[in-house]
Amino acid sequence: MTEFYSAEITGKSYAKLIELRRELDFVLIGGWAIYLHTKALKSKDIDIVVDYPTLFELKQKYGLSKNDFLKKYEIKLEYFDIDIYVPAFSKLAVSPKDILANYTLIEGIKVVEPEILLLLKQGAYSERKHSTKGKKDALDIALILLHTELDFKKYDKWAKDATSQRRQLKEILSALKDQDVRYLNMSRQEFVKKRKEIIAKLQR
């Protein structure tokens, strides 16, 4: 499988994620959460949701900056960023409070449930779909759909507009080209079959 980012960057980023896991209480979202759910396509930036005691710990250890426009806190490192989201400040497709309460443990890391993760990725994709990060978002969305057992009733529960959001998922899957399949950890034949199955589920 082809990787989206260089092995050097993803290796450093994952090492930092493991370090953070040992030090802090957080729920992982973003590309690394997708990697842990699917074991496909490593990420670069680290995205976490924390409560305020953990935010204080991060402020004590790192040079945090507050991004009022994007409603998050940031730690800028040499090769990647750590983006931090908190209740009552950050605006995500699903509220940070609900994210903190709905996670599963994977390799000792609290990772948000896949249905919520899918909605979060859709929110990110909608804001930057014409950029390089938007391309990665589309691949991440496809990976969740192709490599996890989603409960679409649960997905609909968290969605703000399930009909239009399901339609967006179909559009993203349908728009994937042959050259994109190399990122998805499956053969072209497997992809075509699985895509057909998922689109049928989304239409119900």
Q: CA 124 to CA 70: how far, in whole Å?
A: 11
State residue 138's pLDDT score.
Answer: 92
Q: Are 142 and 176 in contact, with CB atoms under 8 Å apart? A: yes
Report residue 203's pLDDT band, with 50, 70 and 90 as the boundaries.
confident
Per DSSP, helices labelled H in the chain are 7-23, 30-38, 52-61, 96-101, 114-128, 132-147, 152-158, 162-175, 188-202
Question: Average pLDDT of the chain?
Answer: 93
- pTM value is 0.92
State residue 204's pLDDT score.
Answer: 66
State residue 41's pLDDT score.
Answer: 86
Would you say residue 81 has pLDDT above 70?
yes
Mean pLDDT over residues 156-171, rounded?
Answer: 94
Residue carrying the six token digits 């092995």 = 7
Q: Which tens digits make up the pLDDT trace of 105-162?
A: 999 999 999 999 999 999 998 888 888 888 889 999 999 999 999 999 999 999 999 9
Neighbours of 106 (CB within 10 A): 14
Q: Which tens digits make up the pLDDT trace of 6-33?
A: 889 999 999 999 999 999 999 999 999 9
Mean pLDDT over residues 68-79, rounded?
Answer: 94
Least confident stretch, 1-5, 37-41, 106-110, 131-135: 1-5
